[in-house]
Amino acid sequence: MTAPIDTKIKAQRVGPSPDMLGESPLWDDRRQRLYWVDGVSRMIRFLDPSSGASGQMLMPSMIGSIGLCEDGRLVAGLFDGIYLVDLDADSLAPLYRPAIPSDRVRFNDGKVDRQGRFVCGGMGVFAEPVGELIRVTGDGQAEVLANGIRISNSLCFSPDGRTMYFSDSLDRFIRAYDYDDGELSHPRVFADTQQFNSGPDGATVDAEGHVWVALVNVGKIARFAPSGKLERLVEAPTDMPSCLAFGGPNLDQLYVTSIKDSGSGRAISRHPQGGYLFALDGLGVTGLAEPRMKLGGAAHV
């Protein structure tokens, strides 16, 4: 760990109220709106920074992640499956649910890949290695990319979509995979977060191809070069940062969700602003517009 801690960043609290388990910030460049989730409270929340308008929609179960769809809806990883969510109509429809449901595993971290499919990882409710990493197309077809996962996190894709980053947080490694043909190959350790005494949580990629990851156990955010070299450390505005996304009109703000109480007993904030959403300015880098899921066919129940 040789990179100096960056102390020149300005952090502003932008969330209207704290989340229990803030996750999956997502900037909609068309609507200039930020979405994120509170997993424990089963909420998808949104904020329009220019007007200050905010709102939320209650989900039927715990929610782990969201992505944009080409028709303006969201795709969401709920406890038992992948759903399409229309916040304007206050409605949701199932896209994919496992044939054999289980109360021991739920969907967690997810992102739309550069090809327009939703990739979402599961996690063991009791941190058992029972989660799967699946990829779902817009017509509800799913394939398993990996299994034996305890807590899926750090899922993101290189700017050209040819590399996927992913972690099982309890292993404390971020791994990189070739994603050239849509399948995972050549797995290798990209970054070892044990050096920070933290597991990796949510991650995103900037326009230069660097990976930003929340170091949830130590209140820091790391930026890794495409080579895996630590390039920068940023002090998070609270003790348990959980997930990251670039946003704002110029995609030069880093939105950071955080944890107040994960509900599992594994993550409880001791910070007075634990659980709030923040915007970090002054990073000197920009992000990428998020891909949108390509939809087609009927939703599969």
Give the pLDDT confidence score for residue 9 in this predicted structure: 83
AA identity, residue 77: G
Question: For residues 279 and 81, what is the distance between their CA atoms, to the nearest angstrom?
Answer: 30
Q: What angle do CA 117, 125, 42 make, to 5 degrees?
A: 65
Write the pLDDT tens digit of every residue in 225-240: 999 999 999 999 999 9
Name the residue ranges covered by the structural domains of the chain: 5-293
Residue ranges of the chain whose pLDDT lies below 50 = 298-301
Give the pLDDT confidence score for residue 4 in this predicted structure: 55
> What tokens appear for 193 in the block?
């977060």
Give the pLDDT confidence score for residue 5 in this predicted structure: 54
Write the pLDDT tens digit of every residue in 247-263: 999 999 999 999 999 88
Q: Classify domain 5-293 by CATH number.
A: 2.120.10.30
Q: Whole-prediction pTM value?
A: 0.94
Give the pLDDT confidence score for residue 2 in this predicted structure: 53
Give the pLDDT confidence score for residue 143 in this predicted structure: 95
Give the pLDDT confidence score for residue 287 in this predicted structure: 98
Give the pLDDT confidence score for residue 299 in this predicted structure: 42
Give the pLDDT confidence score for residue 223 in this predicted structure: 98
